[in-house]
């Protein structure tokens, strides 16, 4: 599709903000990109928004992973244990978009945001949750629970076009005992192959709009370098509360759009 300057520039600047926030919180830019594309009318279906979002997330997650790798906070062993199931889930999720109506995808997307919305509005991090696991999981528990987390997160990623961090970050803290920063960094690391696989599957189904993805990619790749740099300088509680309000607005609008 052709794209005008009036569309390119807003998407570019939106990408800068999305890349910064997604790398700062490890939740993947899809929670912003999918509502942005659908509510603005730039795409006709949630499937197209999901495919274009995943194509953008591939390079965003690579950019953010490089930034976190320089800080040496990625848990590579845990990340690699999640990848096979995450890839399977991403493929299955992308395939399911061919049999599920667009409106139900929109409602599913909004429902998936409920948990992070509540947590963000409370200003909480996953490490502050009372029932979070205090000790790091090891042995068979690490691989079994890790596979389950990867499968569910990958399924959500392929189905809804999100970066899987919405599920993966809190799960890594709750069930595997990671602190919040390593959970964010590891989640972004796992996103690279799962988002790539999901994006390719969507591409074969005609759901990737490169004209819209290009300015988003440029903006998010640049913005993804800022998140790790400013993460220690911004009051996390206030940032998460603002983030929660944005998510709440996006979720409500997605539901309203689906019910029309």
Q: Per-residue pLDDT averaged across 181-185, rounded?
A: 83
Long-range contacts of 185-188 (CB under 8 A, 24+ apart): 185/26, 185/65, 185/68, 185/69, 185/71, 185/73, 185/74, 185/75, 186/74, 186/75, 186/78, 186/79, 186/82, 187/26, 187/28, 187/163, 188/23, 188/26, 188/28, 188/61, 188/64, 188/65, 188/68, 188/163
At 163 the pLDDT is: 64
Q: What is the pLDDT of residues 110-144, one digit of tens each?
A: 787 787 778 777 766 544 554 445 566 667 777 88
Average pLDDT over residues 46-70: 87
Mean pLDDT, residues 2-26: 84
Determine the pLDDT at residue 244: 75
pLDDT at 131: 46
Whether 174 contacts 116, CB under 8 Å: no
**Run of H or E residues at 140:** helix 139-160
pLDDT at 1 exceeding the cut of 80: no
- Better pLDDT: 190 or 117: 190
Over range 194-213, report the average pLDDT: 87
Is 0.85 surpassed by the pTM of this model? no
pLDDT band at 9 (very low <50, low <70, confident <90, very high): very high
Reduced to 3 states, what is the DSSP secondary structure of residue 231? Answer: coil
Q: Do residues 16 and 220 touch, judged by C-beta distance below 8 A?
A: yes
pLDDT given for residue 130 in this prediction: 45
For the chain, count helices (H), then strands (E): 12, 0
Q: Tell me what pLDDT residue 10 has.
A: 92
pLDDT at 137: 63
Kindly report which listed range (98-107, 127-136, 160-169) carries the lowest average pLDDT score. 127-136
Cα 59 to Cα 4, 19, 51, distances in angstroms:
23, 10, 14
Q: What is the pLDDT of residue 209?
A: 92
Name the average pLDDT for the chain: 80
CA distance 230 to 49: 29
Give residues with Cβ within 8 angstroms of 74, minimum separation 6.
65, 68, 182, 185, 186, 189
Q: Please state the domain extents for the chain.
A: 5-259
Could you count the other beta carbons within 10 Å of the beta carbon of residue 119?
A: 18
Reply yes or no on whether the pLDDT at 229 is more than 70: yes
d(CA 83, CA 244): 28
């Amino acid at each position: 599709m052709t794209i005008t300057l009036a569309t390119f520039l807003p998407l570019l600047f939106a990408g800068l903000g999305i890349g910064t926030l997604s790398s700062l919180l490890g939740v993947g830019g899809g929670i912003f990109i999918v509502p942005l594309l659908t509510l603005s009318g730039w795409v006709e279906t949630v499937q197209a928004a999901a495919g274009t979002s995943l194509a953008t997330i591939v390079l965003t997650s690579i950019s953010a992973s490089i930034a976190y790798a320089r800080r040496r906070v990625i848990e590579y062993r845990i990340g690699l244990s999640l990848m096979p199931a995450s890839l399977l889930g991403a493929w299955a999720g992308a395939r399911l978009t061919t049999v599920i109506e667009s409106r139900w995808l929109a409602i599913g997307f909004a429902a998936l945001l409920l948990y992070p919305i509540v947590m963000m509005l409370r200003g909480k991090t996953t490490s502050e949750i009372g029932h979070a696991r205090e000790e790091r999981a090891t042995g068979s528990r690490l691989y079994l629970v890790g596979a389950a987390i990867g499968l569910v997160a990958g399924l959500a990623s392929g189905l809804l076009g999100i970066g899987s961090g919405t599920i993966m970050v809190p799960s890594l803290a709750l069930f595997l005992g990671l602190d919040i920063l390593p959970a964010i960094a590891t989640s972004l690391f796992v996103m690279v192959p799962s988002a790539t696989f999901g994006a390719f599957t969507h591409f074969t189904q005609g759901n990737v709009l490169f004209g819209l993805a290009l300015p988003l990619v440029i903006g998010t790749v640049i913005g993804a370098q800022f998140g790790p740099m400013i993460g220690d300088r911004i009051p996390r509680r206030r940032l998460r509360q603002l983030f929660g309000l944005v998510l709440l607005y996006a979720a409500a609008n997605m539901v309203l759009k689906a019910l029309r």
